Chains A and B, each alone.
Chain A
Amino acid sequence: MFCGTAIGMASSASVNSTSTIACKIALIAPAGANLGNPMTYLAKPKLHHPSLTQNKVCHNRRDYEGRISSLCAGCGHDSISAAIIQACFEMDVEPHRVAKLSGIGCSSKTPDYFLGNSHGFNTVHGRMPSVLTGANLANRGLLYLGVSGDGDSASIGIGQFAHVMRRGVNMTYIVENNGVYGLTKGQFSATADQGSKSKKGAINTDTPIDMISLALQMGASFVARSFSGDKQQLVPLIKAAIAHQGAAFIDVISPCVTFNNHPGSTKSYDYVREHNEAVNRVDFIPPRAEIVVDYAEGEVVEVEQHDGSVLLLRKAHGAHDVHDRIAAMNYVATHQAKGEVLTGLLYVDDEAVDLHHHLNTIDAPLFSLGVAELCPGPAVLAKINAGLR
């Protein structure tokens, strides 16, 4: 009737991060706020929910975000980034006190997508652990987040992985484990289960490396496994790992939606949900906070860490003693043989010590020492020489 209604449906308009403690080694200065975006995606709007609150260091959760992710939509790695953001917000972490280090891979790209105001370093493939070790030695004052993939850590980087755990470097080391080299289009990685099927139909014949067993064997003092699709479990584990003063390792199964989310894969959303066996649920209680969770006796184990934080473990599956390294190794191996994916906190040493302790370094970060301290003069040299005679 009205000519004016003859308007078609397609009528739309087409239309600081400066560290207070300068690092002497090559930590890349943080990128600051979201700079321009090379992808066609929009930057995530800065508007936030009106009810968003600030933490003790005056940041809201959104302040811990990074640039918008360029990973495939639905990649498990993005959920892990979100969990890290949540954990750092809840822990009142000061962004400029964090160094994020990673290697190469889709997983290793993720530090660009969280903590945009923190320090970051991308190493060559599989070499993140040695750079992290060096950074930690030079400046023990930062919080170290190592973010890696199963290819980066279990294939090319397995040697470095073993040594960083052996040395007990104080860090939170997260492997975003999808069983494939996502970035190079889905070849099996060293964690792919024997007999599992690639997207094209090839069967993996190699024996898988279990990162948890390896970390336990190499001496990591905090070992946990989780699933990118279960933030309720993952966030408290990351918080506990951050509080842990030693080598903390979390193996996070993180489905690659593009190359490893099909039937026949053992790292798909469906497979992990079906085979997930949660050993326990962790509640992280920061130091000096009151424990208000009430629980029946025998149901929950309290673990106090060095910094005074407490982990409340609600046991969900069998009677596993998280303080027993050998039992943990057995436990993991037994369940693995049954095809189950054990998740939760598997081992923690509440008396853990770290590399600086082993080396008996001074409390001040080494980079902060001046010429006077580093070159104490001929008299001291003479004394040292005398001691060697």
Chain B
Amino acid sequence: MRPTDIGNPDYFHQVVDCQWACPAHTPVPEYIRLIAAGRHDDAYMVNWVSNVFPGILGRTCDRPCEPACRRGRVEENNGEKPEPVAICRLKRVCADHKQDVRARMPKIAARNGFRIACVGAGPSALTVARDLAPLGYQLTIFDADPKAGGFMRTQVPRFRLPEAVIDEETGYVLDLGVEFRSATRIDSLKDLLAQGYDAVFIGSGAPRGRNLDLPGRSEAAANIHLGIDWLASVSFQHIDKIGRRVIVLGGGNTAMDCCRTARRLGGEDVKVIVRSGFAEMKASPWEKEDAQHEGIPILNYLVPKSFEHDQGRLTGMHFEKVRAELDAKGRRTLVPTGEPLLLVECDDVLIAVGQENAFPFIERDIGIEFDEWNMPVVDKVTLQSTLPKVFFGGDAAFGPKNIIWAVAHGHEAAISIDRMLAALDIHQRPAPTVNLLSQKMGIHEWVYDNEVARDERYSVPWAAKELTLKSVKVEVELGFDLATAIKEASRCLNCDVQTVFSREVCIECDACVDICPMDCISFTLNGDEATLRQTLTAPALNLSQSLYVSDLVKTGRVMVKDEDVCLHCGLCAERCPTGAWDMQKFLIEMTHAGTGCGGGHTQRKAA
């Protein structure tokens, strides 16, 4: 193998599994250490810079970082149940415990003359505004709803996300001199463009709930609701009750929010019914657990067949029982078992079987190309549409995802807009800022806490069920208390503190090989990657994790370190007599719109 180029920012970035997995590349271990140190304001700002909604995301994020977290891998075969660090819920801790951070919000530069419109006030558009407004751009956000936040406000139920948190965090953005035109639906993009905006960002989401057109659908319509419309109505307090027996159709997160909301509005007998198997459901495991915890059964392998009704009143639904089989091509298919249809009685049905995009306000003759699925053609990197000044992001760009992806799109679109208006090539993306700093303080002392805690993952305490099931407004999760937060934070392995090897000073004494608790380090003859992976001190079978390979050491061998299960404990560096190993903190910050990206307040629109 060729020697690893640690000068490439991606190399060490990938070692920080959580940060690499986070669409907005939040410096996770950095903020976790700040929380452990009680520096909640700092931890909050580290988050805010990257992901704009720490308090909201600390309660609702889809947390792609957690399945990626190294902690889960190093605990494998070392205890009962391997679990990642509770990264998401630690984020909430700094949001809960910070002081007033308003003074730390960006200063707003003098207006640069450029005007930018955003359609929708969801997380993607708010991120565009957050990144561009401080640079001097004049932002106008339009939303059909009365308040900002998009689906974070209208879909995510209040028992998961209190109104005050949304007000606070959308407020930090709107306070940056952004004009918010609430309750203003854009009916024609053509008209909007005619108002002379220099760029338009479309963050209108994926607002349409998919219907289930089965026999009885129209006859019993009064008691059959589209999940996302129904959740929005609950959120706007247009709906405050539901029948005693409720069926929720669908296995995604929307279904989970629907069933749990129904439980709080009078649904005593609420069931989730899914076509596929329990394991194949789209909902995150923790969402399923939360629903089950509230006494909501999930019935699987049942395909809905018809709505039953009596004189216009819904009475129940028929389901066909199926089982999963592999077809000739090895694909999973659902095959009827042949048993008689199952009748499930109910008073209301909530349909949560998917969401669709809709762009009724975009004329098809203004230069924005749509594909065969009626989705706008959008560049994956720049988020630009085929009409150069129009950009898409969030659920509107590539279909329904989640908040953190919407934020990531917002950052990228802001960079594109900023560069475009500075007359720079928007396909050229700004490099991140990288800092590599030794953590050595003394022979056995490091700036970071290198002791590896053996604690198992702590769970977040919940308010009593008797309380939470009474109202949609009572928040279920209480958040970690500070003492538990510090213990959970100590489970973090500080994966951003990198093991950096200097082969010039290595004397090949094997001290690092012998001390490494995870058998990560080998000195061996070089070979191709496949061979090396099999012949190291411990086999390196996780192909998604890199091998760190040095140039030749004195005996003509190479040092190979498998990054996979490194604990970042620094013992290699402590045992190295020559300092060939050092622990260096790798801080990588994504460059957002602004001078660093080539645009920013130095540009001024020609009068």
What is the interface of chain A, defined by CB distance below 8 A to chain B? 1-5, 7, 9-15, 39-42, 44-52, 62, 72-76, 78-79, 81-82, 228-229, 231, 255, 257, 261, 269-270, 273
Contact = CB atoms under 8 A, between A and B. Distances in A.
B77 A4 contact: no
B509 A79 contact: yes
Given A2-B134, A4-B49, A75-B511, 10 more contacts: A1-B107, A2-B49, A4-B45, A7-B45, A12-B37, A12-B439, A41-B574, A45-B569, A49-B520, A261-B507
Given A15-B37, A15-B449, A50 B574 contact: no
B517 A48 contact: yes
Interface string B72-114: 0111111000000000000000000000010111110000000
B45 A13 contact: no
Contacts of B445: 40
Given A9-B587, A40-B444, A74-B576, A49 B519 contact: yes
B45 A47 contact: no
Given A12-B33, A15-B37, A50-B78, A73 B585 contact: no
A73 B73 contact: no
Contacts of B578: 74
Contacts of B585: 9, 12
A82 B537 CA distance: 13
A11 B77 contact: no
A52 B77 contact: yes
Q: Which of A3, A40, A82, A257 has the most CB of B within 10 A?
A: A3
B36 A15 contact: yes
Interface string B291-308: 000000000000000000
A76 B494 CA distance: 30
29 contacts: A1-B107, A1-B134, A4-B46, A5-B45, A9-B435, A9-B587, A10-B447, A11-B30, A11-B37, A13-B37, A14-B37, A14-B449, A40-B443, A41-B574, A44-B515, A44-B517, A45-B454, A45-B517, A45-B569, A47-B452, A48-B78, A48-B519, A49-B520, A49-B538, A62-B517, A78-B575, A82-B514, A257-B509, A269-B509
Interface in B31-64: 33-34, 36-37, 39, 42, 44-46, 48-49
B545 to A, nearest CB: 12
B447 A72 contact: no
Contacts of B77: 48, 50-52
Nearest to B571: A44
A48 B554 CA distance: 29
A78 B518 CA distance: 17
B219 interface: no
Contacts of A49: 518-520, 538, 565
Contact of B514 (A39, A40, A79): A79
B575 A42 contact: no
How large, as a class, is the contact surface on chain B?
35 or more
Nearest to B520: A49
Contacts of B171: none
Interface in B574-607: 574-578, 585, 587, 589, 594-595
Given A48-B517, A50-B73, A50-B565, A229 B508 contact: yes
Contacts of B494: 12
A56 to B, nearest CB: 19
Contacts of A51: 77, 538-539, 541
Nearest to A44: B517
Contacts of A50: 73-74, 76-78, 565
A74 B78 contact: no
A54 to B, nearest CB: 11
Nearest to B562: A49
Interface string B366-387: 0000000000000000000000
A13 B34 contact: yes
Q: Which of B435, B450, B517, B589 has the most CB of A within 10 A?
A: B517
B451 interface: yes
Contact of A255 (B42, B75, B509): B509
Nearest to B539: A51
Contacts of B39: 11
B118 to A, nearest CB: 20
B483 to A, nearest CB: 13
Q: Which of B44, B447, B454, B511 has the most CB of A within 10 A?
A: B511
A257 B509 CA distance: 9
A48 B517 CA distance: 6
Interface string B549-571: 00000110000000001010101
Contact of B454 (A14, A46, A261): A46
A10 B571 CA distance: 20
Nearest to B135: A1
Given A5-B49, A47-B517, A13 B448 contact: yes
B437 interface: yes
7 shortest interchain CB distances as A-B pairs: A4-B45, A74-B577, A82-B514, A13-B36, A50-B76, A13-B33, A45-B452
A81 B509 CA distance: 13
A277 to B, nearest CB: 16
B577 A72 contact: yes
B489 interface: yes
A11 B46 CA distance: 11
Contacts of B439: 12
B167 interface: no
A218 B106 CA distance: 82
A44 to B, nearest CB: 5
Q: Which of A41, A42, A269 has the most CB of B within 10 A?
A: A42
A15 B105 CA distance: 28
Contacts of A46: 78, 454, 517
B510 interface: yes
Contact of B518 (A47, A82, A273): A47
Contacts of B44: 4
A42 B509 contact: no
Nearest to B433: A5
A76 B514 CA distance: 11
Nearest to A72: B577
B444 A3 contact: no
Given A40-B444, A47-B518, A229 B78 contact: no
Contacts of B595: 1
Contact of A41 (B48, B75, B444, B508): B444
Nearest to B595: A1
Contacts of A228: 509-510
A1 B555 contact: no
Contacts of A73: 511, 574-577
A20 to B, nearest CB: 29
A47 B509 contact: no
A178 to B, nearest CB: 12
Contacts of A75: 509, 511, 577
Contacts of B571: 42, 44-45
A72 B507 CA distance: 14
Interface in B184-205: none
Given A15-B36, A40-B444, A45-B569, A7 B577 contact: no
A360 B34 CA distance: 71
Nearest to B441: A14
A229 B569 contact: no
Contacts of A82: 510, 513-514
A223 B452 CA distance: 42
A261 B569 CA distance: 28
Contacts of A273: 554-555
A38 to B, nearest CB: 13
A257 to B, nearest CB: 5
Contacts of A10: 447
Interface string B427-439: 0000000010101
B240 to A, nearest CB: 40
Contacts of B449: 12-15
Interface in B513-533: 513-515, 517-520
B133 to A, nearest CB: 11
A74 B589 CA distance: 36
